[in-house]
Amino acid sequence: MSGPITRARTFLQLQRGLLFRYGWLRSWWQGKPVDGHGRPLPWLAYPAIDFLSQFDFSQAFVFEWGSGYSTLWWSTRCRHITTVESNVNWIRCFQDLLPPSVELLQTPFDAHAEVSALQHHTRTHHDVIVIDNHGPFRCECASAAVEHLAQGGMIIVDNSDQCLKTCQVLRERGLVQIDFTGFAPSNSYAQTTSIFFREYLKFQSTDSIQPHASPAQPNLPWQNC
């Protein structure tokens, strides 16, 4: 009977890890990206969220195309965030959730207008640039992002497995691409979030421990390893 019992235990552990510790079930039920405690999450692949969560962004300036729960997540972690949004209906529903520290830039639904929001921003370089807006706009945004990325910073492209040209643009500009593939809050399918950087990342771990344990990791680190 040990075989079936072991398999059942494994299945239950998988359910507990993904559905509850990561908060997928709560996120699916509420229809918004949140963790197991109901706190906002960016709508990225869970492995990318795990990677980003371990860094200290307290002094970082973040620029984001495509506002949402990611804006709320970044607003508690960074020094300043600028978010660009062109969906008027979404802005009406969402802006009351934004803390005063968030700089919301409303633009027309136009790639040039969204790129101009970065190019004419009062800050010329940003430590983190997030590309999570309308798909056909992303190539132009990526080209502009490279010119406005601070030394040691990162560019994040969500749904990168569906934005292959955007990824190619960034690689051809000399950036290193790291892909994180997995499930995302409330989604029933896996997706990829890619992080791009030049040579190195300047961000330090929040507690000098790297990597941080996954929410679904029940075991302590091995000793003397």
State residue 2's pLDDT score.
Answer: 57
Q: Is residue 4 in a domain? A: no
Look at residue 146 and tell me if it is in a domain: yes
What's residue 78's pLDDT?
A: 96
Q: Mean pLDDT for the chain?
A: 91
Domain that holds residue 184: 37-197
Is the residue at 222 inside a domain?
Answer: no
Residue 137 clears pLDDT 90, i.e. is over it: yes
In a domain, 223, yes or no: no
The answer to the question of residue 47 being in a domain is yes
Question: Poorest-confidence range of 11-15, 182-186, 212-216?
Answer: 11-15
Q: Is the pLDDT higher at 9 or at 39?
A: 39
Provide the domain count of the chain. 1
- Per-residue pLDDT for 19 more than 80? no
User: In this model, does residue 131 exceed pLDDT 90?
Assistant: yes
157 assigned to some structural domain: yes
- CATH (domain of 69): 3.40.50.150
DSSP per-residue codes, the chain: -HHHHHHHHHHHHHHIIIIIIS-HHHHHHHTS-B-TTS-B--SS-HHHHHHHHTB--TT-EEEEES-SHHHHHHHTTSSEEEEEE--HHHHHHHGGGS-TTEEEEE--S-HHHHHHHHHTSS-S-EEEEEE-S-GGGHHHHHHHHHHTEEEEEEEEEETGGG-HHHHHHHHHTT-EEEEEEEE-TT-SSEEEEEEEESS---PPBSSS-SSPPPTT--SPPPTT-
